[in-house]
């Protein structure tokens, strides 16, 4: 008997359960990288002023401060595109880690309290310590993310029978309701609602190099950490019994994965605000294509997440000029139907 | 014989509970009339209530405080009844119009209207419940269809998850729609979403009242049906219940009640959860008892939350919805932690 009433798991030996398609994975990673580079180039070239691709290349290899196109590329478009790719990869990998670790098909940082936790802590910061540096804000939103996820998992797992998807989602939405209510109270009292909403819906517009300088080491380190953990996550995704039977120190692996999730999601949320559903969709898509071995799921998710974020941001910028459609709305537009699909496919009927 | 005795005992118990709750509600109501920005002593309030008092006191009491109090009462009643019905229909003790995404559907419709019609003062009170209704039914239909599978019917876990998914999506949309508004409009919507009982004039009472007068008796009349549901589908069909039809009627009633309430009060969650749960603790699981008792509990809760929210800070109001969530969410989590898989 597996404890999971979640995944339609076949009752087979662990070896057989870890099916994977390494060649597909490698071709998706390579193809995805090529597409990502093309997407980034396109995203940098297009905008309120179209800049030819040769000029983009020139700006990258031989920057000329007197050329206004080069200025636009370096100061506005490049940081935005880089931030989009970093954050997309981070959200997707944090979702993959959560889903693998908890064997729960609907695990997603947005649904499980990360956004609400970070939002709450940031509301506190805006209200009581206005003028914190971005570096400090990132650290605080790590704390917030950890508080959110900790509450959701803690309460979800207190229940008899453990963490079913429904239980986790309910705990997530109640914790979010509580934290959002508290943030709303604070925001209304200190008259910072709109500042907070701007941050919340922020997207990648207005990301600066200074922010990226702080952001990238965290995300790159956490991504490398996730790759190193991937083998253990695969084993953990077979269930605690199997994992400890195979001699794994599950508590240690969990701790590592939780830290990675905290850094990835916390850093991303503090930079671009609440982007939900990315961490839900991408790992599902990745698993459907490359199998359930996280050695492949994690890098594939990273590439696909970055790609989706860059494409969504470009579409949001170009679809209705001069207005921008926020990237979180576009992703929710794909994400909600995808979520419905997962609910219909992967969730069994019992609570 | 025993059965009859037991039933009568329950009925007596319910009656006593109702009387006690009504007294508590009355007490909170009096307290609430004394709470507010400008000070009025209890004697002054009473005098004003019975026709005395200065014109200023008259204005404060009859035009500012009473309509808001009445709306808090009505919305509390309505949301608690809607929650009880939803819990009965879905056979899920954690159902609530807020959790299931019905409130967010209603909210989306209202926000769309506010954004597209800046001069809302003149027309909206009577119109808002209808708009909220369209949004709420839109949300309810989507959730229902997503939870429905042929040959299997509605699954309660899919219902809950679809509701959460929809609410998350709608929230993302709302933030996007409101962010470019000018600060005044934005603040209006932010306080509305936080559940501030914003429509505090008699116009809104009149807009809300007809809905409740029509719908609540239907809910009370159908209460027995909910008890039949709780026996499970097979038994219920065996007892001659036209399951799907009855379920649909009750769902429509619950959605309509919560839409009308949300339209005047803003997004208030958890009343629909707390009311019925506390009621079950007091009078047992039968819905003909649970519904009236939870209605009064809902009224007391919301009235208290609004009163505290109005008086706790010197220079600002905390929306009632925020107060309810601060109490309600932990209680919800406690129920969740205790529930069996």
SS (H, E, C) chain A: CCCCCCCCCCCCCHHHHCCECHHHHHHHHHHHHHHHHHHHHHHHHCCCCCCCHHHHHHHHHCCCCCCHHHHHHHHHHHHHHHHHHHHHHHHHHHHHHHHHHHCCCCCCCCCCCHHHHHHHHHHHHHHHCCCCCHHHHHHHHHHHHHHHHHHHHHHHHHCCCCCCHHHHHHHHHHHHHHHHHHHHHHHHHHCCHHHHHHHHCCCCCCCCHHHHHHHHHHHHHHHHHHHHHHHHHHHHCCCHHHHHHCCCCHHHHHHHHHHHHHHHHHHHHHHHCCCCCHHHHHHHHHHHHHECCHHHHHHHHHHHHHHHHHHHHHHHHHCCCCCCCCHHHHHHHHHHHHHHHHHHHHCCCCC
Q: To 10 degrees, what angle do helices B271-283 and B66-90 make?
A: 70
How many angstroms separate the CA of residue A120 from the nearest CA in chain B?
A: 13
User: At B149, which helix (H) or strand (E)?
Assistant: strand B148-149
pLDDT in tens, B279-292: 988 888 888 888 99
B178 touches chain A (CB under 8 A): yes
Distance CA B135, CA B123 (A): 19
- Taking residue B213's Cβ as centre, other Cβ atoms within 10 Å add up to 9
Nearest to residue B135, comparing CAs of B159, B98, B106?
Answer: B106
Is A5 contained in some domain? no
What CATH number corresponds to the domain at position A234?
Answer: 1.10.3470.10
Q: Supply the pLDDT for residue A12.
A: 56
Inter-chain contact B340–A193, Cβ cutoff 8 Å? no
Residue A4: per-residue pLDDT: 41
ipTM: 0.78
Closest residue in B to A343 (Cα–Cα): B158
Are A5 and B341 in contact (CB < 8 Å)? Answer: yes
When the pLDDT of each residue in chain A is averaged and rounded to a whole number, the result is: 82
**A98 CB-near residues (< 8 Å, 6+ apart):** A104, A107, A108, A109, A112, A257, A261, A279
What residues does A20 pair with on adjacent strands?
A291
- Position A351 in a domain: no
CA distance B271 to B262: 12
Picking from A3, A160, A177, A187 by the largest number of B CB atoms within 10 A of its own CB, the best residue to mutate is A177
Q: How does residue B297 score in pLDDT terms, banded at 50, 70 and 90?
A: very high
10 Å CB burial of residue B314 (0-12, 13-18, 19+) is exposed
Length of chain B equals 341
Quick one: which of B88, B108, B107, B86 has its CA closest to B97?
B86
Which residues 110-139 of chain B have a CB within 8 Å of chain A? none
**10 Å Cβ neighbour count for B136?**
30
Per residue in A111-129, pLDDT tens?
A: 788 888 888 888 888 888 8
Q: Considering the domain boundaries, does residue A99 fall inside one?
A: yes
Which of A102, A241, A73 has its CA nearest to residue A169?
A102
Q: Which residue of B has its CA nearest to A275?
A: B172
- Compute the distance between CA of residue B74 and CA of residue B265 in angstroms, rounded to an integer: 10
Q: What's the whole-number mean pLDDT along residues B289-296?
A: 91
Average pLDDT of span B109-122: 73
Residue A2 lies in a domain: no
pTM for this entry:
0.82
pLDDT of residue A1: 34
When pLDDT is cut at 50, 70 and 90, the band that residue A292 belongs to is confident
Q: Report residue A56 as tokens.
A: 């983009």
Torsion of Cα atoms, B238 then B239 then B245 then B248, to 10°: -110
Interface probe, candidates B184, B318, B341, chain A, greatest A C-beta count within 10 A: B341
Position A6 scores a pLDDT of 42
The neighbour count for residue A136, using CB atoms within 10 Å, is: 12
Which residues in chain A are contacts of B316 at CB distance < 8 A?
188-189
Contacts of B326 in chain A (CB under 8 A): 178, 181-182, 185
Pull the structure tokens for residue A293: 């071995």
For B94, name the nearest residue in chain A, comparing CA atoms only: A170
Residue B35 has phi, psi (to 5 degrees) of -100, 135
Looking at the complex, report in whole angstroms how far the Cα of residue B243 sits from the nearest Cα belonging to chain A: 19
pLDDT in tens, B190-219: 777 777 776 677 888 888 888 889 999 998
The CA distance from A205 to B50, in Å, is 60
- What distance in Å separates residue A279's CA from the closest CA in chain B? 14
Q: Is residue A260, in this structure, part of any structural domain at all?
A: yes
Per-residue tokens: B21 = 């709750």
Name every residue whose Cβ is closer than 8 Å to that of residue B241 and which is 6 or more positions away in sequence: B225, B228, B229
Most A-contacting residue of B92, B96, B103, B157 (CB-CB within 10 A), to test interface: B157
pLDDT at A233 over 80: yes
The predicted pLDDT at position A5 comes to 40
The mean pLDDT value for B89-108 works out to: 83
pLDDT, averaged across chain B: 81
Scan residues 181-200 of B and list those with Cβ closer than 8 Å to A. Answer: 183, 186-187, 190-191, 193-194
| Min Cα–Cα distance to chain B from A275, Å | 8
Answer yes or no: do B318 and A177 touch at CB < 8 A.
Answer: no
Rounded to whole angstroms, how far apart are CA atoms B213 and B53?
A: 32
What would the pLDDT profile of B249-272 be if each residue is shown by its tens digit?
888 899 999 888 888 888 788 888
Instruction: Give CA–CA dist B255/B98, Å, rounded.
Output: 11
Domains for chain B: give ranges and CATH numbers.
2-338 (1.10.3470.10)
Q: Are B97 and B254 in contact (CB under 8 A)?
A: yes
- Through-space distance between the first and last CA atoms of chain B, rounded to whole angstroms: 36
Cα–Cα dist B253/B86, whole Å? 10
Would you tell me the crossing angle of helices A78-102 and A278-290 to the nearest 10 degrees? Answer: 70
Pairwise CA distance, residues B98 & B41, whole Å: 37
Determine the pLDDT at residue B35.
Answer: 75
Instruction: Give the C-alpha separation, B315 to B322, whole Å.
Output: 17
**In the prediction, which pLDDT does B123 show?**
57
Residue A9 lies inside a defined structural domain of this protein: no
Higher-pLDDT residue of A176, B177 = A176
In angstroms, the CA A148 to CA A173 distance is 11
In the block, residue with structure tokens 């008899």: A160
A318 burial type by CB count under 10 A (0-12 exposed, 13-18 middle, 19+ buried): middle
Is residue A16 within 8 angstroms of chain B, CB to CB? no
Percent of chain B whose predicted confidence (pLDDT) is above 70: 89
Question: A15 falls in which pLDDT band (50, 70, 90)?
Answer: low
Question: Using CB atoms and an 8 Å cut-off, which of residues 308-327 of chain B contact chain A?
Answer: 313, 316-319, 321-322, 325-326
- Note whether B172 contacts A276, CB cutoff 8 Å: yes
Model pLDDT, residue A3:
39
| Dihedral sign for Cα atoms in the order B285, B287, B289, B294 | positive
Smallest CA–CA separation between A177 and chain B, in Å? 7
pLDDT class of A87 with cuts at 50, 70, 90: very high
Highest mean pLDDT among A166-175, B233-242, B297-306: B297-306
Q: Using CB atoms and an 8 Å cut-off, which of residues 161-220 of chain A contact chain B?
A: 161-162, 164-167, 169-175, 177-178, 180-182, 184-185, 187-189, 193-194, 197-198, 200-201
What is the Cα gyration radius of chain A?
Answer: 20
The per-residue pLDDT for A274 is 78
* Farthest CA pair distance, chain A: 69
- From chain A, the residues in CB contact with B151 under 8 A are none
Q: Which residue would you say has higher pLDDT here, A273 or A95?
A: A95
Give me the pLDDT at residue A226, please. 93
Tokens of B199: 């429509």
- List pLDDT tens digits, range A313-332: 888 888 877 777 778 888 88
Which of A53-62, A198-207, A240-249, B330-339 bottoms out in mean pLDDT, i.e. has the lowest?
Answer: A198-207
Q: How confident is the model over B148-180, as pLDDT tens digits?
A: 777 666 677 788 888 888 888 888 788 777 777
Q: What is the pLDDT of residue B191?
A: 77
Structural domain includes residue A188? yes
Q: How many domains does chain A have?
A: 1
Burial state string for B95-122 with b = 16 or more CB within 10 A and e = fewer than 16 = bbbbbbbbbbbbbbbbbbbbeeeeebee
Closest CA to B295 of B217, B234, B243: B217
Question: Is the Cβ–Cβ distance between A98 and A279 less than 8 Å?
Answer: yes
Is the confidence at residue B120, as pLDDT, over 60? no
As a whole number, mean pLDDT of residues A215-243 equals 87
Measure Cα distances from B319 to A211, B175, B201, B323, B331 in Å: 35, 19, 17, 7, 19
pLDDT of residue A192 exceeding 50: yes
pLDDT value of residue B340 = 62
Residue A68, judged by CB atoms within 10 A of its CB (0-12, 13-18, 19+), counts as: exposed
pLDDT at position B165, please?
86
Residue B206 to residues B53, B141, B197, B252, Cα–Cα distance (Å): 26, 28, 15, 22
Both tokens assigned to A10: 């076949």
Structural domain span for residue A138: 14-324+331-346
Residue B125 has pLDDT above 50, yes or no: yes
Dist. CA B249–CA A51, nearest whole Å: 59
Average pLDDT over residues A66-84: 84
B-chain residues near A349 (CB < 8 A): 152, 155-158
A110 in B contact zone (CB under 8 Å): yes
For residue range B14-66, list pLDDT tens digits in order.
Answer: 888 888 888 988 888 888 877 776 667 777 777 777 777 777 777 777 777 88
Q: Which of the two residues, A266 and B194, has the higher pLDDT score? A: A266
**Could you check whether the bond before residue A333 is cis, i.e. omega within 30 degrees of 0?**
no
Higher pLDDT: A131 or A278? It is A278
Averaged over A42-62, what is the pLDDT? Answer: 80
Q: Cβ distance B135 to B70 under 8 Å?
A: no
């Amino acid at each position: 008997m597996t404890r999971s009433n979640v995944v339609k798991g076949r009752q087979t030996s662990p070896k057989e359960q870890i099916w994977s398609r390494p060649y597909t994975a490698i071709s998706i990673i390579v193809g995805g990288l090529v597409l990502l580079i093309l997407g980034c180039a396109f995203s940098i070239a297009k905008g309120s002023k179209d800049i030819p691709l040769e000029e983009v290349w020139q700006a990258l290899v031989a920057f000329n401060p007197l050329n206004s196109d080069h200025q636009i590329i370096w100061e506005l478009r490049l940081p935005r595109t880089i931030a989009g790719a970093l954050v997309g990869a981070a959200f997707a990998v944090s979702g993959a880690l959560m889903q693998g670790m908890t064997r729960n098909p609907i695990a997603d940082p947005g649904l499980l309290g990360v956004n609400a936790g970070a939002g709450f802590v940031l509301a506190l910061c805006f209200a009581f310590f206005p003028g914190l540096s971005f570096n400090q804000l990132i650290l605080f939103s790590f704390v917030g993310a950890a508080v959110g996820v900790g509450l959701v998992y803690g309460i979800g797992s207190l229940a008899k029978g453990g963490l079913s998807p429904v239980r986790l989602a309910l705990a997530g939405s109640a914790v979010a309701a509580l934290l959002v209510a508290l943030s709303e109270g604070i925001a209304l009292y200190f008259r910072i609602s709109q500042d907070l909403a701007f941050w919340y819906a922020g997207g990648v517009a207005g990301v600066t190099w200074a922010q990226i300088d702080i952001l990238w080491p965290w995300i790159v380190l956490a991504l490398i950490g996730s790759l190193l953990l991937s083998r253990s996550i695969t084993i953990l995704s077979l269930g605690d019994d199997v994992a400890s039977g195979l001699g794994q120190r599950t508590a240690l692996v969990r701790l590592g994965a939780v830290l990675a999730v905290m850094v990835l999601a916390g850093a991303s949320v503090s930079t671009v605000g609440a982007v939900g559903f990315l961490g839900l969709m991408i790992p599902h898509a990745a698993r459907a294509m490359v199998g359930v071995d996280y050695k492949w799921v994690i890098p594939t998710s990273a590439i696909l997440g970055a790609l989706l974020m860059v494409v969504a941001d470009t579409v949001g910028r170009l679809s209705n000029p001069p207005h921008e459609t926020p990237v979180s709305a576009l992703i929710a537009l794909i994400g909600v139907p995808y979520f419905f699909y997962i609910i219909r496919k992967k969730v069994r009927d019992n609570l | 014989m025993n059965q009859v005795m037991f039933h009568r005992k329950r009925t007596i118990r319910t009656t006593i509970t109702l009387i006690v709750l009504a007294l508590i509600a009355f007490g909170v109501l009096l307290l609430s009339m004394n709470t507010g920005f400008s000070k009025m002593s209890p004697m002054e309030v009473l005098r004003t209530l019975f026709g005395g008092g200065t014109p200023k006191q008259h204005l404060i009491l009859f035009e500012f405080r009473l309509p808001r109090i009445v709306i808090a009462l009505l919305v509390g009643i309505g949301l608690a009844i809607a929650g009880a019905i939803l819990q009965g229909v879905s056979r899920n003790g954690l159902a609530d119009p807020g959790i299931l995404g019905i409130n967010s559907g209603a909210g989306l419709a209202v926000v769309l209207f506010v954004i597209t019609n800046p001069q809302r003062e003149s027309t909206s009170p009577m119109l808002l419940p209808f708009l909220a209704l369209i949004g709420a039914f839109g949300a309810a239909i989507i959730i229902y269809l997503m939870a429905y599978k042929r040959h299997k019917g509605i699954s309660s876990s899919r219902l809950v998850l679809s509701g959460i998914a929809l609410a998350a999506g709608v929230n993302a949309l709302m933030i996007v729609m409101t962010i470019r508004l000018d600060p005044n409009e934005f603040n209006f919507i932010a306080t509305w979403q936080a559940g501030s009982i914003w429509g505090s004039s008699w116009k809104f009472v009149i807009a809300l009242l007809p809905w409740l007068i029509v719908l609540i008796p239907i809910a009370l009349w159908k209460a027995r049906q909910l008890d039949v549901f709780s026996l499970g589908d097979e038994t219920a069909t065996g007892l001659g219940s036209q399951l799907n039809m009855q379920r649909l009627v009750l769902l429509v009633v619950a959605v309509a009640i919560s839409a009308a309430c949300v339209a005047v009060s803003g997004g208030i969650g958890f009343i629909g959860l707390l009311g019925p749960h506390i009621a079950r603790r007091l009078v047992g699981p039968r819905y003909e008892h649970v519904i009236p008792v939870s209605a009064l509990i809902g009224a007391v809760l919301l009235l208290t939350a609004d009163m505290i929210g109005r008086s706790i800070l010197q220079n600002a109001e905390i929306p009632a919805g925020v107060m309810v969530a601060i109490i309600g969410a932990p209680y919800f989590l406690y129920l969740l932690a205790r529930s069996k898989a």
